[in-house]
């Protein structure tokens, strides 16, 4: 790269948010350049292979992918729909939860889930109907997700964001089993009992209930498909390019500095990395102290420990479902633990063998883990953390396997090899502070505190990604629409999305 390099749009970070913006804008004729610090693109979309098996690090499953549903429409608009291989999870139970020994399979379809619950808890019919009416009301109130034109984003109050999930469900029913079933998905947004927002809960639940799919070829296929689209439209995706400084003049970025490379220029700059980290890189602009302070005060969601297990051939039957295990009869508080009793539960994702259909080839287990547990190794880098770190990873893995034996008693005999990652792995592979799973924490008691607008006081600097709208495949895809809306006009994008939806139906 040389200093003359000038692009219409420079995007910092190749996570889902950056890649989606790159796709939208390159298809509209803008010359796009994406700069990625890591040697692999995708951020939380990254996958990796061990022993010939593919493992996802972040993105495991997606929702609303049937023709006409929202993610299907967005992926068609991004021009990646045809390139992604997905497989539908079990219609009768795409997520299965076990809390304190009781198992319940969540069927696909809002009506199917509601009807199954009413059948199992007939005396709670009123509570169940009220719950579903409420989450649907919230989901249907979101203009972009429902492809309605919108007037303005500026800290618009979102229905339900100031309401707490736990309190809402507790106000409906005293039945602990029912409460657990309605709230098991808090693991998908790192929800805490005292602060989980009903808005996020409703969006995520309805999104997956509409249809739930596993990514047959991992999350990396999404990143790869985006890269192909961007390059086919004349754009560039550059790896090993860590942005270190954004040099401004007259509150406009004039130069983007990259570690070990010549700086480049962009007429517009979109940052897909955390807002705070982005603003700390800005030099020579008038950033208000109160804005920086607000970003500094935003708390991160918890990080996690992941155990990746390669299975012996034909040893474990494939379950076409994700499994959520809670040791006690309580689905809240996996992240609120004393180290001596970790883990209190896990999320389990399986991959089916392509050779031996009906059998699993691998299992990934995730359990929330506090970044502060990693303090002895804070200053270490990938593969350079020492033997005590490796020992800690092994011990944690054994504890997770102890829990897994409750579901699969012979599991240790069926495992060929295990690999593990910690909050430090997430920190170093995605650049996210504290290896936070889902970015900044939202709080139903103070929803405004976590809100960040896509535009900044630096005239040509925009923000995108999980901290701008919401985490996850839907939240981040929508963040890209919102960010590009600042450049292209949001309603022109929504008009186009409606056309893609109509064509698919
Ligand atoms: C364990 C786990 C499981 C998950 N499971 C699911 C799931 O099943 N379904 C779902 O919908 N969501 C899931 N999510 C959430 C989802 O993966 C994320 O919300 C989403 O992928 C985040 O995308 P992003 O673009 O905001 O950021 P990121 O993916 O964090 O991307 C940011 C990118 O910026 C790069 N970068 C950072 N600093 C710099 C710099 N200075 N210069 C250049 N580049 C830089 C990073 O390397 C990274 O590539 C999961 C997340 C985790 C952690």
Query: Under a CB-based contact definition with an 8 Å cutoff, are residues 362 and 418 in contact?
Result: no
Query: Under a CB-based contact definition with an 8 Å cutoff, are residues 308 and 364 in contact?
Result: yes
CA 482 to ligand 1 centroid distance, Å = 17
**What's residue 231's pLDDT?**
98
3-state secondary structure of 343: coil
From the alpha carbon of 13, which atom of ligand 1 is closest? Answer: 34
Ligand 1 site, residue 473, Cβ cutoff 6 A: yes
Ligand 1 site, residue 35, Cβ cutoff 6 A: yes
CA 379 to ligand 1 centroid distance, Å = 22
DSSP 36-104: -SSSSSBGGG-EEEETTEEEESS--EEE--STTSHHHHHHHHTT-GGG--EEEPPTT-SEEEEETTEEE
Ligand 1 site, residue 63, Cβ cutoff 6 A: no
Ligand 1 site, residue 16, Cβ cutoff 6 A: yes
Q: Residue 322's closest CA among 501, 112, 93? A: 93
> Which residue of 59, 218, 350, 463 sits with most ligand 1 atoms within 8 Å of its CB, as the best mutation to test the pocket?
59
Token pair 């004393």: residue: 338
CA 274 to ligand 1 centroid distance, Å = 10
CA 214 to ligand 1 centroid distance, Å = 18
**What are the percentages of helix, strand and coil residues in the chain, rounded to 5?**
40, 25, 35
Query: In which residue ranges of the chain is pLDDT below 50?
Result: 2-3
CA 14 to ligand 1 centroid distance, Å = 9
Q: Whose CA is nearest to atom 27 of ligand 1?
A: 15
Ligand 1 site, residue 397, Cβ cutoff 6 A: no
> What are the backbone dihedrals phi and psi of residue 382, each rounded to the nearest 5 degrees, phi first?
-55, 130
Q: Whose CA is nearest to atom 49 of ligand 1?
A: 43
Burial class (CB in 10 A: 0-12, 13-18, 19+), 489: exposed
Q: Whose CA is nearest to atom 50 of ligand 1?
A: 58
CA 15 to ligand 1 centroid distance, Å = 5
CA 291 to ligand 1 centroid distance, Å = 24
Ligand 1 site, residue 420, Cβ cutoff 6 A: no
> What domains are defined for the chain?
6-46+218-298+445-504 (3.50.50.60), 302-435 (no CATH)
Token pair for residue 228? 């192909």
**Rg of the chain (C-alpha set):** 22
Query: Under a CB-based contact definition with an 8 Å cutoff, are residues 219 and 61 in contact?
Result: no
In angstroms, the CA 187 to CA 206 distance is 15
From the alpha carbon of 464, which atom of ligand 1 is closest? Answer: 26
From the alpha carbon of 466, which atom of ligand 1 is closest? Answer: 26
> Which residue of 273, 364, 484 sits with most ligand 1 atoms within 8 Å of its CB, as the best mutation to test the pocket?
273
**What's residue 4's pLDDT?**
52
**What's residue 3's pLDDT?**
44
What would the pLDDT profile of 194-241 be if each residue is shown by its tens digit?
Answer: 999 999 999 999 999 999 999 999 999 999 999 999 999 999 999 999
In angstroms, the CA 136 to CA 113 distance is 13
| CB-facing half-sphere around the CA of 138: CA atoms within 13 A | 24
Q: How many CB atoms lie within 10 A of CB 346?
A: 25
In angstroms, the CA 117 to CA 112 distance is 9
Ligand 1 site, residue 242, Cβ cutoff 6 A: yes
Helices 165-172 and 125-140, packing angle to 10 deg: 150
What phi-psi label fits residue 226: left (phi over 0), alpha (psi between -120 and 50 degrees) or beta?
A: alpha
Query: Under a CB-based contact definition with an 8 Å cutoff, are residues 46 and 40 in contact?
Result: yes
Ligand 1 site, residue 192, Cβ cutoff 6 A: no
Q: Whose CA is nearest to atom 2 of ligand 1?
A: 58
From the alpha carbon of 432, which atom of ligand 1 is closest? Answer: 30
3-state secondary structure of 376: helix
Token pair for residue 130? 């009220």
> Which residue of 11, 12, 15, 89 sits with most ligand 1 atoms within 8 Å of its CB, as the best mutation to test the pocket?
15
Ligand 1 site, residue 12, Cβ cutoff 6 A: yes
From the alpha carbon of 471, which atom of ligand 1 is closest? Answer: 19
Strands (E), 312-457: 322-326, 345-352, 360-369, 415-421
In angstroms, the CA 432 to CA 426 distance is 7
């Amino acid at each position: 790269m040389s200093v003359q390099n000038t692009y219409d749009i420079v995007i910092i970070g190749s996570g889902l948010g950056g890649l989606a913006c790159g796709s939208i804008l390159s298809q509209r004729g803008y010359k796009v350049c994406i700069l990625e610090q890591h040697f692999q693109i995708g951020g939380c979309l990254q996958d990796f292979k061990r022993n010939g098996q593919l493992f996802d690090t972040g993105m495991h499953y997606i929702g609303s992918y049937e023709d006409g549903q929202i993610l299907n429409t967005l992926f068609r608009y991004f021009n990646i729909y045809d390139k992604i291989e997905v497989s539908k999870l079990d219609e009768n139970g795409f997520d299965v939860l076990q809390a304190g020994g009781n198992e319940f399979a969540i069927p696909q379809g809002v009506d199917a889930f509601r009807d199954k619950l009413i059948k199992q808890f007939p005396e709670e019919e009123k509570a169940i109907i009220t719950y579903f009416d409420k989450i649907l009301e919230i989901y249907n109130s979101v203009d972009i997700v429902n492809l309605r034109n919108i007037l303005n984003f500026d800290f618009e109050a979102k229905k339900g964001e100031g309401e707490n999930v736990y309190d809402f469900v507790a106000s409906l029913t005293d039945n602990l089993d029912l409460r657990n079933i309605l709230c098991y998905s808090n693991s998908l947004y790192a929800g805490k009992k005292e602060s989980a927002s009903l808005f996020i809960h409703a969006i995520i639940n309805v999104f997956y209930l509409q249809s739930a799919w596993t990514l047959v070829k991992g999350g990396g296929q999404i990143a790869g498909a985006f890269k192909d689209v961007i390059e086919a439209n004349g754009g560039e995706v550059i790896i090993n390019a860590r942005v270190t400084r954004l040099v401004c003049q007259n509150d406009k970025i004039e130069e983007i500095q990259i570690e070990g490379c010549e700086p480049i220029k962009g007429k517009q700059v979109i940052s897909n990395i955390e807002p705070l980290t982005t603003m700390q890189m800005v030099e020579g602009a008038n950033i208000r102290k109160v804005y920086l302070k607000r970003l500094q005060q935003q708390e991160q969601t918890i990080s996690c420990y992941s155990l990746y297990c390669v299975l012996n051939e034909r040893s474990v039957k494939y379950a076409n479902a994700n499994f959520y295990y809670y040791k006690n009869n309580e689905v809240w508080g996996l992240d609120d633990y004393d180290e001596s009793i970790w883990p209190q539960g896990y999320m389990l994702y399986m991959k089916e063998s392509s050779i031996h259909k009906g059998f699993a080839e691998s299992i990934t287990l995730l359990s929330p883990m506090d970044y502060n547990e990693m303090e002895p190794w804070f200053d270490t880098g990938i593969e350079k953390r020492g033997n005590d770190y490796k020992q800690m990873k092994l011990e944690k893995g054994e504890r997770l396997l102890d829990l897994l034996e409750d579901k699969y008693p012979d599991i240790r005999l069926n495992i060929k090899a295990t690999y593990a990652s910690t909050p430090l792995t997430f920190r170093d592979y995605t650049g996210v502070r504290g290896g936070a799973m889902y970015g900044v924490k939202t709080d139903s008691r103070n929803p405004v505190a976590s809100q960040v607008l896509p535009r900044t006081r630096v005239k040509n600097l925009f923000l995108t990604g999980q901290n701008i709208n919401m985490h996850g495949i839907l939240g981040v895809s929508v963040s890209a629409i919102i960010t590009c809306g600042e450049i292209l006009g949001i309603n022109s994008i929504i008009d186009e999305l409606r056309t893609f939806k109509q064509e698919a139906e």
